[in-house]
Amino acid sequence: MPEYKAPVRDMRFVLHELLNLDDHYAQLGLEEVNGELIDAFLEEGAKFAANELAPLNRSGDEEGCHFENGVVTTPKGFKEAYAKYVEGGWPAMGGDVNYGGQGLPSSAGIAISEMIGSANWSWSMYPGLGHGAVATIEEHGTPEQKDTYLPKLISGEWTGTMCLTEPHCGSDLGILKSRAEPQADGSYAITGTKIFISAGEHDMADNIVHIVLARLPDAPAGTRGISLFIVPKVLVNEDGSLGERNGVACGSIEHKMGIKASATCVMNFDGAKGWLIGEPNRGLHAMFTFMNFARLGTAVQGVAHAEIGFQGGLEYARDRLAMRALSGPKNPDGPADPIIVHPDVRRMLLTAKAFAEGGRALVYYTSKLGDVVQKSKDEQARKEADDLMALLTPIAKAFLTEAGLEAANHGVQIYGGHGFIREWGMEQNVRDARISTLYEGTTGIQALDLLGRKVLQTQGAALRNWTKVIHKFCEGNADNQGMQEFVEPLTRLNKEWGDMTMAIGAQAMQNIENVGAASVDYLMYSGYVTLGYFWAAMADVAQRKLAEGAGDEDFYKAKIATARFYFKRILPRTAGHKGAIEGGLDCLMDLDEAHFAF
């Protein structure tokens, strides 16, 4: 099985050379963080990921989680690795300083999340959900709730969950049934069944803080009648110590295709004591803090699986001998050439590399926007960053997870038949990647969010915010001869994106179903153009570094070569998606449902 090695050089390239985090932190007036600190995190994070987590990835997959009498035991070594993670202070990086956190901006920890997730996605979900609970309580909790839950969640002593899904509903939360009855003491009795709850029960922490959607009595039907509650597994005494077990228990765990070491739990709430967080009936609004956090986290998962597909594929492609290059032997002393000589193997490797590195740029950029939203004192800058983030989040989540899955599949294909065999780890990468296009809103749901809510409902304003950034970049490089191979196609596609959006908008006025018909192709188109921008921007940085004689020539040349591959071999996929959108609605709807099968 290939060993995961954090791509620290590439992470540094994105963080420092592409995104200029030092300047960004100075602009935000953040004195507590700078490039040097980030580099120290990268070094330590890389060690933690490689030494503590990667070795548990395959064993965790093989062993899975255990369930007995409501108790979930994680695979061997998981609990100990979590204790080291807490001891190392990692969970506290982003937390509020008033509650024991380090108050660092989200971009300071994004590479660490990628390293941890790449090394062992299942393991990363336990702390990951805790961070989401922290973000939600920090934003919507009362001072008392913050005092009660934040210190232990931020330190990692407790973990969190997000409890949305019920047996009859996932995407359509408007029909959820869990109930919350007000109690005389100001708390609520929560009753209902939640399914598929990641980290709902486990043995890593003393307490689990569930963030739960439920309905108040007489709440309006639909999404406007949902409220949000904090429901701890163990009730917390006034002095902060742990008290009685609350009325919430794990009924069973799921047996899954992948991420087998992540406990996916059925959670039964039986009059459990909960406390309202945020306003009554505005729970979905408050939950969006968690969901947006988790969506960006899932975008990281796409990058992680692309990186693993790439690293594993590269190692094998250099070693494995099969046939000769069409143009003659490249390894004349051996019985055959290494498969990396074959153009088709290179196509797969470069696709995985282009998705991993391009996706990294998109995700880190989005988290830089998150810093502005969280930390800027300039209200206008905060609003602009927030709007841009709202547009980029569904693209990052859905496009990068689809890309990650494709790259994971290339990883298997590069290994030939061996890719199908467990010991190489490539099949696990595909199985683990498969969930990423499903949870946190399926690709279909993200696509509706992008095209319907973010683009059309804002009359294209949200899209224009982003196409303007791309346009400015292209304009700035209009006279840069070396960049024309990137700037010309990007300029054309950026305009085409706007024109196509207008055409879809016009069709939607005729028949709203056109939005659903176009949505996933539109999302994929948007993803390819967005990644095109990042690849062009990375090529620009690399060209400048080469011109300056900054050293590290091979790295920068590889960046430019990969950008060229992306533009010549991946970006043309936009034409297919545009063609499919133009194929329209009728061919999807004409077939009577009764005649789908005979």
Binding residues (CB under 6 A) for ligand FAD: these are 162-165, 169-172, 196-198, 256, 264, 435, 438-442, 444-445, 448, 516
The DSSP secondary-structure symbol of 457 reads T
Residue 394: name the closest of 526, 533, 521 by CA.
Answer: 526
Least distance in angstroms from the C-beta of 172 to ligand FAD: 6
Q: Which of 440, 496, 513, 548 is flagged as catalytic?
A: 440
State how far the Cα of 3 lies from the Cα of 106, in Å rounded to an integer.
Answer: 27
Measured between alpha carbons, how far apart are the two ends of the chain, in Å?
A: 46
Tell the burial category of 352 from Cβ atoms under 10 Å away from its Cβ (0-12, 13-18, 19+). Answer: buried
Both structure tokens of 285: 């609004």
The CB-of-438 to ligand FAD minimum distance in angstroms stands at 6
Cα separation, 136 vs 285, in Å, equals: 11
- Distance of closest approach, residue 258 Cβ to ligand FAD, in angstroms: 8
Beta bridge partners of 180: 190
User: How big is the CA angle at 161 (ends 156 and 164), to the nearest 5 degrees?
Assistant: 165
- The C-alpha angle with vertex 26 and arms to 542 and 375, in degrees rounded to 5, equals 110
Report which residue's Cβ sits closest to ligand FAD.
170
Please give the C-alpha separations between residue 497 and each of 395, 509, 526, 581, in angstroms, as whole numbers: 14, 19, 8, 12
Q: Smallest distance, Å, CB 439 to ligand FAD?
A: 4
Indicate the residue among 238 and 593 with the shorter CB distance to ligand FAD.
593
Tell me whether residue 164 or residue 433 sits nearer to ligand FAD (CB atom). Answer: 164
Take residue 396 and report the two structure tokens written for it.
Answer: 């990052």
Please, which residues have CB within 8 angstroms of residue 3's CB and are 6 or more apart in sequence? 50, 54
Nearer to ligand FAD, 108 or 284 (CB): 284
Q: How far is the CB of 129 from ligand FAD (least distance, A)?
A: 7
Q: Would you call 553 a catalytic residue per the annotation?
A: no
Closest distance of CB 198 from ligand FAD, Å: 3
List the structure tokens of 133. 């609970």
Q: Which is nearer to ligand FAD, 413 or 442 (CB)?
A: 442
Shorter beta-carbon distance to ligand FAD: residue 61 or 440? 440
Task: Answer whether 188's CB lies under 8 Å from 237's CB.
Answer: no
Q: Which of 64, 47, 62 is nearest to 4 (CA)?
A: 47
Instruction: Report, in Å, the least distance between residue 260 CB and ligand FAD.
Output: 10
Pairing of strands 227-232, 207-214: antiparallel
Compare residues 451 and 560 and give the one whose CB is closer to ligand FAD.
451
C-beta closer to ligand FAD: residue 107 or 122: 122
Cα pseudo-dihedral 590, 593, 594, 597, rounded to 10: 90
Q: Indicate which residues carry an active-site annotation.
A: 440
